[in-house]
Amino acid sequence: MSGNSSHSGSSLDHRLTGILDDRKSKKRYRSLKVFDDHKSGLVDFSSNDYLSLTASAELRANFVARIAKAPLFLGSTGSRLLSGASPSHSALEQRFADFFHAPSALLFNSGWDANVSFFSTIPQPGDWVVFDELVHASVHSGLRASRVHPDHRIAFDHNDSESLGKVLDRISSSPAASSHKGPVVFLALESLYSMDGDMAPLQTFLDVLDKYVPRSRQCIVLDEAHSTGVYGPRGRGVAYALGEEGGWEEPNMSQGAGRIGVRLMTFGKAVGCSGAVLLCSPTIRSFLINFARPFIFSTALPHSSLHALEAAFDIIQSKDGETRRQKLFALCRHLHAQLDALLETCPRNLLRLPPRPPSVSNPGSENADMSSITPIIGLITPNPHALSAFLLEKGFIVRPVVPPTVPPGSERIRLCLRSDIPHSVVDDLSAALKEWINQKQGSERYGSIVGSSVFAKAKL
């Protein structure tokens, strides 16, 4: 039996190697690349650490102080339904419910777990789930595990209100769709999309939804992974900035003016930690606790993560947090201005920006009209690997993004900004991009000249 087992393992490896080789041939192979930018001198333009909190001396001191006096400071010892339900978990959830102005909050180990839990559990048979075509992969994984029929899961064109309207019009013509007791229509969106760096026109989408679906049958789910800590007053997110947060008001828990009843705030990006919190009604929270398998069967967030989150949000909610946001958006404006000038004369088939959406107001912050200038910049190019390698030689970590992460024809490099990057470093990056463009244009002109010369000699 041991011989058969060994042979079976070899056969499996052989089969998997063939699949990996196929991916390599399509230039879609992924591998882990480790850079110690603190020692190498490389500047990381791929990190989602938008507020530079992971390197904050203040955060380190606050975290160490909390750990030093905490009775529990490492593992949580079990799932929330067993030994992992501590007063610290409940206190942090209440802090988030108060801070983000939500009726209740439920912690998860990651944004992925939260999305899979919600979309595999909350939509019921007969409900509809409508989603932007570029929503996170975790939404799709959740829906595949749900009881919603595939015909009732419908994508609309990215950030396109007309496309959304067509989908909702089709749904509204289905039986019982106009009834207040009919199926619920879920609308899944992101506030800030991670590949194009563009924001959803949220209020336009909500108005379109109101046109076709009674408010009592709506459930808007907004993923604020890339806007948590960055947008809105004291980093509360885009929904809060627009006054669309909440959904249910005490004491009778009736639906309030805010139309976005479910928000996902994650902690692995601007917050500089890990984990996520789902902001929702008490009923949805209870349902997830009872039926969401990723929540039920996962060990709860460790106490070390809870202390780190408390320390991080102390900064995010402070004047230091607002200063970091101001510095980040100043850097965004600086780089976007440089890219606009650089790309003005660059052939679009060589390097270009994705289309920019119109601005969305961000009230309550000194950075009020920032939706078209975000800390995420995708530069679309047919040569993402070559450009990434060139920039690495110049001292910049910039990752290529290729299918299946993005659709074929939209291959790109992605730049992510952090508040502690000096403007002079952005100038150096822009200079490196200009050098690469000039080299590519020069080689193309040389190839054209050589080709013409060979053709002329052939005619002679």
CB atoms within 10 A of CB 392: 15
At which of 275, 291, 316 does a domain end?
Answer: 316
Mean pLDDT score, 198-205: 94
- Which of 316, 341, 361 is the last residue before a domain boundary? 316
- Prior bond to 363 cis, omega within 30? no
Q: Which two tokens stand for residue 26?
A: 């399509």
Q: Is 322 exposed, middle or buried (0-12, 13-18, 19+ CB in 10 A)?
A: middle
pLDDT at 20: 95
298 in the same domain as 237: yes
Q: What is the mean pLDDT of residues 239-265?
A: 77
> Is there a domain that residue 3 lies in?
no
Whether residue 368 lies inside any domain: the answer is yes
Domain count across the chain? 2
**Residue 65: C-alpha distances to residues 69, 72, 91, 198, 317 (Å):** 7, 13, 18, 38, 18
**According to the model, what pLDDT value does residue 352 have?**
94
User: Residue 208 domain-assigned?
Assistant: yes
Give helix 282-291 / helix 111-121 axis angle, nearest 10°.
90
What pLDDT is recorded for position 246?
A: 75
Do 72 and 162 reside in the same domain of the chain? yes
CA distance 204 to 419: 30
What does the pLDDT read at residue 368?
Answer: 46
43 & 67 share domain: no
Considering the domain boundaries, does residue 358 fall inside one?
yes
**Residue 275, phi then psi, degrees to nearest 5:** 105, -175
Q: Does residue 446 register a pLDDT over 60?
A: no
Per-residue pLDDT reduced to its tens digit, 279-332? 999 999 999 999 999 999 999 999 999 999 999 999 999 999 999 999 999 999
Residues 137 and 41 in one domain: no
The two tokens of residue 95 are 């802090």
Tokens of 266: 């994650």
Question: From CA 275, how far away is CA 267, in angstroms rounded?
Answer: 5
Cβ atoms of residues 174 and 217 within 8 Å:
no
Q: Which residue has the tokens 């015909």?
A: 151
Is the same domain home to 215 and 181? yes
Which residue type is seen at 390? F
- Residue bearing tokens 């450009």: 387
Q: Do the Cβ atoms of 171 and 185 come closer than 8 Å?
A: yes
What CATH number should be reported for the domain holding residue 325? 3.90.1150.10
My answer on whether 40 and 73 are in the same domain is no
- Tell me the per-residue pLDDT of 53-74, one tens digit each, with 9 for 90 and over: 999 999 999 999 999 998 888 8
Residue 454 pLDDT level (bands cut at 50, 70, 90): very low
Same domain assignment for residues 139 and 173: yes
Residue 6 lies in a domain: no
Q: Which helix (H) or strand (E) holds 229?
A: none
Domain that holds residue 203: 62-316
The whole-number pLDDT of residue 175 equals 66
Share of the chain above pLDDT 70, in %: 87
Question: Do both 141 and 222 map to the same domain?
Answer: yes
* Averaged pLDDT score across all residues of the chain: 89
Look at residue 260 and tell me whether its pLDDT is greater than 70.
yes
Q: Where are the beta strands (DSSP E) in 139-284?
A: 153-156, 185-190, 218-223, 248-249, 254-255, 262-266, 276-280
Please provide the DSSP assignment of 281-322 as one string: -HHHHHHHHHH-HHHHTSBPPPHHHHHHHHHHHHHHTSHHHH
pTM for the whole structure: 0.89
Does residue 17 belong to any structural domain of this protein? Answer: no
Q: Which one has a higher pLDDT value, 211 or 249?
A: 211
Mean pLDDT of 207-228: 96
Q: What percent of the chain has pLDDT over 90?
A: 74
Q: Domain containing 163 — which CATH number?
A: 3.40.640.10
Residue 147 shares a structural domain with residue 274 = yes
Question: Residue 24 falls within a domain, yes or no?
Answer: no
Q: Please state the rounded mean pLDDT for residues 119-134.
A: 97
Answer yes or no: is pLDDT of 35 > 90: no
| Per-residue confidence (pLDDT) for residue 27, from 0 to 100 | 81
Residues 274 and 335 in one domain: no
Together in a domain, 87 and 212:
yes
Q: Is residue 160 part of a domain?
A: yes
- Domain edge (last residue) among 257, 283, 316: 316
Annotate 409-450 with DSSP letters as a single string. T--EEEEE--TTS-HHHHHHHHHHHHHHHHHHHHHHHHHHHH
Q: Are residues 396 and 309 in the same domain?
A: no
